[in-house]
A and B are shown apart, each in its own frame.
Chain A
Amino acid sequence: MSAGIDLENVCCDFGTFRAVDNANVSIKPGEFFSFLGPSGCGKTTILRMVSGFIEPTQGTIRIGGNDMKGQRPNQRPTALIFQNLALFALMPIWENISFGLEVRGVDKATRRRKAEELLKLVDLPGAADKMVSQLSGGQKQRVAIARALAVEPQVMLLDEPLSALDLKLRQHMRAELRAIQKRTGVTFIYITHDQGEALAMSDRVGVMSQGRIQQIADPREIYNNPVNGFVASFVGENNIFTGEVQQAASGMASFATPHGQFRARLGEVTGKAGKLYVRPEHTLLSATAGAENAIPVTVGDVSFEGNFITVHATSDSGATLTSELRNDGSATVPALGAKMFMSFDAARAAILPDANVRG
């Protein structure tokens, strides 16, 4: 069983401070949805509103089509995994996992059996009688997941559950979480400030900044077609040029910058203001200038990173630009101090407005 979640014009105020501003999102049953954004942008606040610990100041939250207004956390079909896990330190693991069943009046033998099953599901058999303090970070993580799954929630809410783990374990747990989600079919709302995590795990991602949802789309769309400068810069690297939109026609525009005239896709820019964003891996370095979008540069720094090569170059006006070349054998590694041209495809560059923030 899984349920969809709808947020309609949801706002949350703390005093005069608006932590979440007019959030609208419709999450499908069984979807793995991530909220991605920097620290303090309101991710936890959204999750706490969905789980029922905070009432929205305005707007409606529906879970499985039912308005959740006035429903306490213990009445909602959600299970929250806390940022710090919040395992019950004084109970053995199996009681932790079966606490939700204990509350529902399930008898002890059934609880124990169910706990063992869930421990198997999260790949932690034999830990039933240990105490929380005897487990490693990753194991605690799994217990928290098992504890949430035990109540058979229709929606799982996860608040940066992997942030405390080291890189290796984090990557392992990503795959694990994703597998558990597929196996159980439960709707997951996942919160993270790690863009890699969000892109790798999610069906769709909602990027947030300062309480506002900036863009909701699948990971590829978020990366390839960011709607504004915030999304573009938060998700991945960019070369950014400031300038002025000049002629616009059929989604393309020419853009005047101190580095010269460029052509690029035109985003939702109002008026002439905007910035041009080009990803480093969408640039080319060549000895001769192409037809359009070429900037003369001096190669400053070349770092070899294995699967790709990062080149930092300085333009004539002194700006530092970055180019990423795939190490597929075809690329020639530019020499230090070489005078070259950095160019990019107009279809791969976009003129975007800044973030969607309160004026």
Chain B
Amino acid sequence: MQELLRRYGSGLTLIMCLLVAFWLLMLVIVPNITLFEQSFRPYLPVSEIGGPRDVYSANNYLKVFEGQVTSSLFGIEFEIPVRVRTFLLTIWYSMVVAVLCLMLAYPLAYYMAKIVNPKSLPTLILLLFIPLWVSEVLRAFAWWIILAFKGPLNALLLAVGLIEDPIRWTNMGFTGVVIGLIYTYVLFMLFPIYNAIQSLDTNQIEAAEDLGAPWWKIHWRIVIPHAKPGIASGCVMVFMLSAGSLLVPSILGSTTSQWFTQTINETFNDALDWNTASAYAFLLLILCTLFVSVAMWLFRVKLSDIAK
């Protein structure tokens, strides 16, 4: 703060502080508080707002338990509220996305940090970034085309002889969504892990090898423990972004792959029930945060590790 004052003088500093305060207050805090407040009030016709029925309650939150459907897991059939089911599937498949991203990104990050010739690294990073220059919508549609029934992926697999009949990728429940989300968010996994691995002294890897360790032991005991903060922040980011993604599930999803954000969106935009939609949105936020905290506690990752 004093540094700012010294460098830019009081006028400019005041303006900067005000802008930051405005941004925080008007664009983050106020809308969220408004929605939070709304989420406890019933959805009423305009004339009744402020009337006797406009009282605070948790009813909107309890609506997730309405409407039972039959579901089955491991061959056991059970009744479950439809939105709870959507929510659980969203969490589950976001986790799948995070794990698959980790499996894709870790080897690549290790390769980039420790194996590739430093001279070709900028080219490699550029190649990784180029897809980001294209809008997310276009990228999702590109996958929609790639995964289409008569699209290039099926053509390729048929030509190679891996499959005999084309596969309806986007109609296979969550497959399309998972592929799309991995593609969209894998870089959020890659770079934290790359940064973490890069800060590991290469001599430690060599020392482990010199002491007789096979490659998997080197990763398990030396590289992964060192990269853990990066892995954790990558997983948290990919998980949160996936669970909160609306575009990819909308474009690449099928009738059987409802994402919880789609439920929220339908309540906001189709039913125009902002109160219930806010409640759902907060539920998603709170439960995801809770889930991440539990996962971090399980894997013994501290918040300060991630912030690094």
Which of A's residues lie within 8 Å of B, judged by CB? 51-53, 72-74, 78-80, 82-84, 86-91, 99-100, 102-104, 147-148, 151
List 6 contacting pairs A-B, 8 Å CB cutoff, sorted by A. Answer: A83-B203, A84-B201, A86-B206, A99-B208, A103-B214, A104-B212
Q: Which of B204, B209, B221, B226 contacts A74 (CB 8 A)?
A: B209
Neighbouring A residues of B209 by C-beta, 8 Å: 72-74
CA distance A99 to B208 in the complex (A): 8
- The verdict on A82 contacting B208 (CB below 8 Å), with A88-B222, A90-B226, A103-B214 known, is no
Given the interface contacts A82-B203, A84-B203, A86-B203, does A99 sit within 8 Å of B221 by beta carbon?
A: yes
Docked Cα-Cα span, A52 to B210, in Å, equals 8
A74 CA / B217 CA spacing, docked (Å): 12
User: Is A88 touching B208 in the complex (CB atoms < 8 A)?
Assistant: yes
Q: Is B211 within 8 A of A151, CB to CB?
A: yes
Bound form: Cα–Cα A197–B222 in Å:
33
Instruction: Indicate the member of A83, A84, A90, A151 with the most B CB atoms within 10 Å.
Output: A90
5 A-B pairs with least C-beta separation: A86-B203, A100-B211, A86-B207, A74-B212, A103-B213
Interfacial chain A residues near B217, Cβ < 8 Å:
103
CB-nearest residue of chain B to A151: B211
Binding site for A on B (CB under 8 A): 201, 203-204, 206-214, 217, 221-222, 225-226
- Counting chain A CB atoms within 10 Å of each CB, which of B201, B211, B213, B222 scores highest? B211
In angstroms, Cα B204 to Cα A60, docked, is: 27
Set of chain B residues within 8 Å of A51, measured between Cβ atoms:
210
Which residue on chain B has the smallest CB distance to residue A147? B211
- Give complex CA distance A151, B211 in Å: 7
Q: Please indicate which of the listed interface residues A74, A79, A90 has the most CB atoms of chain B within 10 Å of its own CB.
A: A74
CA distance A202 to B213 in the complex (A): 31
Expressed in whole angstroms, the Cα–Cα distance for A51 and B221 within the complex equals 21
Bound CA span A84–B206, Å: 12
State whether B204 touches A99 (Cβ < 8 A). no
In this complex, what residue of B is CB-closest to A98? B211
Q: For B211, list chain A residues within 8 Å (CB).
A: 74, 79, 99-100, 103, 147-148, 151
Q: Which residue of A lies closest to B217 (CB)?
A: A103
* A82:B212 contact, CB within 8 angstroms: no
* A100–B212 touching, CB < 8 Å: yes
Closest residue on chain B to residue A83 by CB atoms: B203
Most buried by A among B206, B207, B221: B207
Q: Which one of B201, B213, B226 lies within 8 Å of A86 (CB-CB)?
A: B201
Q: With A88-B222, A90-B225 known to touch, is A103 a contact of B212 (CB < 8 Å)? A: yes
| A52 to B: closest C-beta gap in Å | 8
Within the complex, the shortest CB–CB distance from B223 to chain A, in Å, comes to: 11
Q: In whole angstroms, what is the CA distance A99 to B204 when docked?
A: 12
Q: Closest residue to B203 on the A side, CB-wise?
A: A86
B206 touches A73 (CB 8 A): yes
Q: Which residue of B lies closest to A157 (CB)?
A: B210
Q: Is the CB–CB distance between B210 and A79 below 8 Å?
A: yes
Given A82-B203, A86-B204, A74–B222 Cβ distance below 8 Å?
no
Whole-angstrom CA separation of A80 from B212 in the bound complex = 11
14 more contacts with CB within 8 A, not counting A53-B206, A103-B212, are A52-B210, A73-B210, A80-B206, A84-B201, A87-B207, A88-B204, A88-B208, A88-B222, A89-B204, A89-B226, A90-B225, A100-B211, A103-B217, A148-B211
Closest beta carbon of chain B to A172's beta carbon, Å: 24
How distant is the Cα of A88 from the Cα of B207 in the complex, in angstroms? 9
List the B residue with the shortest CB-CB distance to A81: B207
Residues of A within 8 A of B226 (CB): 89-90
Known: A86-B203, A88-B204. A78 touches B221 (CB 8 A): no
Please report the C-alpha to C-alpha distance between residue A90 and residue B210 in the assembled complex, in whole angstroms: 18
Please indicate the chain B residues that have their CB under 8 angstroms from the CB of A80 in the complex: 206-207, 210
Q: Which of chain B's residues has its CB closest to A86's CB? A: B203
Q: Give complex CA distance A99, B221 in Å.
A: 9
Contact A74 B206 (CB under 8 A): no
- Chain A residues, CB < 8 A from B225: 90
**A89–B227 alpha-carbon span in the complex (Å):** 13
B212 CB → nearest A CB, Å: 5
Contacts of B214 in A (CB 8 A): 74, 103
Residues of chain A within 8 A of B210, CB atoms compared: 51-53, 73-74, 78-80
Contacts of A90 in B (CB 8 A): 225-226
Contact A82 B207 (CB under 8 A): yes
- Residues of chain B with a CB closer than 8 A to A102's CB: 221
Closest chain A residue to B206 by CB distance?
A53
Q: Could you tell me the distance between the alpha carbons of A82 and B209 in the complex, rounded to whole angstroms?
A: 13
Which residues in A have their C-beta under 8 angstroms from that of B208?
A: 88, 99
CB distance from B119 to the nearest CB of A (A): 12
> In whole angstroms, what is the CA distance A13 to B201 when docked?
24
A84 to B214, CA, bound (A): 22
CB-CB nearest in chain A for B228: A90
Which B residue sits closest to A72, measured CB to CB?
Answer: B209
- Minimum CB–CB distance from A163 to chain B (whole Å) comes to 15
**A84 — which chain B residues lie within 8 A by C-beta?**
201, 203
Q: How far is the CA of A103 from the CA of B219 in the complex (A)?
A: 12
Q: Nearest CB to that of A84 among chain B residues?
A: B203
List residues of chain A with CB within 8 A of the CB of B204. 86-89
A87 to B210, CA, bound (A): 12
Docked Cα-Cα span, A78 to B211, in Å, equals 8
Residues of B within 8 A of A104 (CB): 212
A53 CB contacts on chain B under 8 angstroms: 206, 210
Minimal beta-carbon separation of A49 from chain B (angstroms): 13
**Complex contacts, A100 vs chain B, CB 8 Å:** 211-212
**In the complex, what residue of chain B is closest to A79 when comparing beta carbons?**
B210
